[in-house]
Amino acid sequence: MNNPFIDFKDSANATAMRQALDKVSLQLGREYDLVIGGERMKTAGKIRSVNPARPEQVVGLHQKAEAGHAEMAMAAALRAFESWSRTAAGERASLLLGAAETIRQRKLEFCAWLTYEVGKNWAEADADVGETIDFLEFYAREALRLAEAKTPIQYPGERNELLYVPLGVGAVIPPWNFPLAIMAGMTAAAIVCGNTVVLKPSSDAPTMAAKFMEVLEEAGMPAGVVNFCPGTGTTFGHALVEHPKTRFVSFTGSKAVGLEIHARAAQTQPGQIWIKRTVLEMGGKDAIVVCADADLDAAVEGVVASAFGFSGQKCSACSRAIVEAPVYNAFVERLRERVAKLTVGDPAANHNVGPVINQTALKSMLGYIATGKKEGRLLAGGQATATAEGGYYLEPTVFVDVTPDAVMAREEIFGPVLAVIKVASFEEALKAANNTEYGLTGAVYSTDRNKLDRARTEFHVGNLYFNRKCTGAMVGAHPFGGFNMSGTDSKAGGADYLLLFTQAKSVGEKL
């Protein structure tokens, strides 16, 4: 069972969330150390993590790991690997289950940290924390299942075994947009298989990783199994990826950075005796197709939730609505009315749409909006909204009458910007949906079984949904990962995900 969502319409739950926000507010601005081999370290350089709703408010002050720290972290992880790789699968799984229970008991507190560090409203924060718990429990149980793997055939006169053994030391480089769930899932999957890791969280969300590190230590994680090292990608990150002892790199983030990591990892270094494995989850340019026979009210709700949840800052977010001509005008009008009801403001006050992550992201989105005004008609939004606290807010923005080959319809914007495209037929809709280098998520709203069956084979994405939104993948139910430039289709939260962090060893003994 997936962790249940919290109903914040219940006054008791809302009061508890406000209390959690108050409690966490008293802990903002604390300084966090690097943790290498269980030792705390400070550096001359610092990383300031700030609240995107109130940029003057420091959430956490972190050390900045440099290239030299990569060697230290690698040495600590290699030492820990010697014993951790030989630790029983049940003991490693128990660590994850203990961490899951701690987070479950402190769920609202972790929600509050997410609200302050990356600007998630209450429901988005709850989903992030719930997914964290799901990942920890799912991977713990999958590790136990993997430990019991059997060969398909026992050859006569032999005892045959199939062992899934850990790879070694890995670099875990998670994103800022799911700074607890994705970060914890990537880390947990690696260590539950017996690997040790160097964790380099995003500089926009290192505090969530520091809090997770505290949970792992509380659960009894041995020193050096996870080494907490915030740092810049161009110094520490490059040194880590290129290190000859790095066995694998697990990355979630942009296409540009993912491809650079893939290229750097592919270059064999002196003393390197393996081909480094890369597990890459990258971007998306996701589409929801709305057919003429669809329930329009449901389609509008699904598009709005997918496009503007967490200000569109999800690789799974709907950034294109592809609508069949007979219902195009009605859909556009209902969409305009629904978007107008969204509120923009501080996520601590639980507005529908909060800030985007930083000033650089906001500037990029405004650049795309300028392009959109040349490629389509602005239906809603389009403006940055200033606040007294200086937050990085952008109105939910909708462009209509966009062509499938427009910049707005092809490039990932990663913000609350939606392009609406009119098509003449379902065949044209599928062609438009596939007209991108990405292939992550997609959805179709239709009551026609033939259309849904055709989409099942012809809509080329890793996660496809019918008559529901294209965000909100649930661990176990919707293994997550995409095609093409969306990554290596690694299927996080799926039964085969742990195989990426192991290598199979066949043992045959003559009787």
Q: Are residues 297 and 265 in the same domain?
A: no
Domain-located, residue 482: no
Look over the chain and give the mean of its residue pLDDT values, rounded to a whole number. Answer: 97
Q: Residue 342: what pLDDT?
A: 98
Q: What is the pLDDT along the chain (511 residues), one digit of tens a residue?
A: 899 999 999 999 999 999 999 999 999 999 999 999 999 999 999 999 999 999 999 999 999 999 999 999 999 999 999 999 999 999 999 999 999 999 999 999 999 999 999 999 999 999 999 999 999 999 999 999 999 999 999 999 999 999 999 999 999 999 999 999 999 999 999 999 999 999 999 999 999 999 999 999 999 999 999 999 999 988 999 999 999 999 999 999 999 999 999 999 999 999 999 999 999 999 999 999 999 999 999 999 999 999 999 999 999 999 999 999 999 999 999 999 999 999 999 999 999 999 999 999 999 999 999 999 999 999 999 999 978 889 999 999 999 999 999 999 999 999 999 999 999 999 999 999 999 999 999 999 999 999 999 999 999 999 999 999 999 999 999 999 999 999 997 899 999 999 999 999 999 999 9
Strands (DSSP E) contained in 96-190 are 158-166, 169-173
pLDDT of residue 388: 80
- The domain of 382 spans 286-474
Do 443 and 506 reside in the same domain of the chain?
Answer: no
Taking CA atoms, 216 is separated from 98, 219, 222, in Å, by 8, 5, 9
Clarify whether residues 173 and 293 are in a common domain.
Answer: no
- Do 448 and 494 fall within a single domain? no
Q: What CATH number is given to the structural domain containing 216?
A: 3.40.605.10
Residue 5 covered by a domain:
no
Q: What is the pLDDT of residue 489?
A: 76
Residue corresponding to tokens 């000859």: 244
Q: Looking at the whole model, is its pTM more than 0.95? A: yes
Is 4 domain-assigned? no
345 and 253 in a common domain: no
**Residue 23 located in a structural domain:** yes
Q: Which residue's entry shows tokens 């209509």?
A: 400
- Nearest CA-CA partner of 504 in 249, 162, 193: 162
Kindly state whether residues 317 and 259 are assigned to the same domain.
no
Question: Does 119 share its domain with 143?
Answer: yes
DSSP-derived letter for residue 203 is: T
Domain total in the chain: 2
Would you tell me the crossing angle of helices 11-25 and 107-118 to the nearest 10 degrees? 60
**Cα atoms in the Cβ-side hemisphere of radius 13 Å centred on 189:** 31
Is 281 assigned a catalytic role? yes
Question: Which of 193, 229, 291, 315 is flagged as catalytic?
Answer: 315
- pLDDT at res. 389: 87
Residues in CB range of 250: below 8 A, 6 or more apart: 170, 171, 172, 173, 186, 189, 190, 197, 279, 500, 501
Cα separation, 381 vs 408, in Å, equals: 15
pLDDT for 120 equals: 98
Strand partners, 442: 287, 464
| Cβ(227)–Cβ(77) below 8 Å | yes
The answer on 402 and 425 residing in a single domain is: yes
Q: Looking at the structure, do residues 344 and 371 belong to the same domain, yes or no?
A: yes
Residue 498 is classified by DSSP as G
For the record, the structure tokens of 473 come out as 């993948």
In a domain, 480, yes or no: no
Catalytic residue among 124, 131, 137, 281: 281
Helix (H) or strand (E) holding 298: helix 296-308
- Do 29 and 177 lie in one domain? The reply is yes
In a domain, 87, yes or no: yes
Place of tokens 């230590």: 217
Are residues 258 and 217 part of one domain?
yes
**Phi/psi class of residue 381: alpha, beta or left (left: φ > 0; alpha: ψ in -120 to 50)?**
left
Same domain, 95 and 175: yes
CA 462 centroid distance within chain: 15
pLDDT at 121: 98
CATH number assigned to the domain comprising residue 361: 3.40.309.10
User: Does a structural domain hold residue 481?
Assistant: no
Residue 483 lies in a domain: no
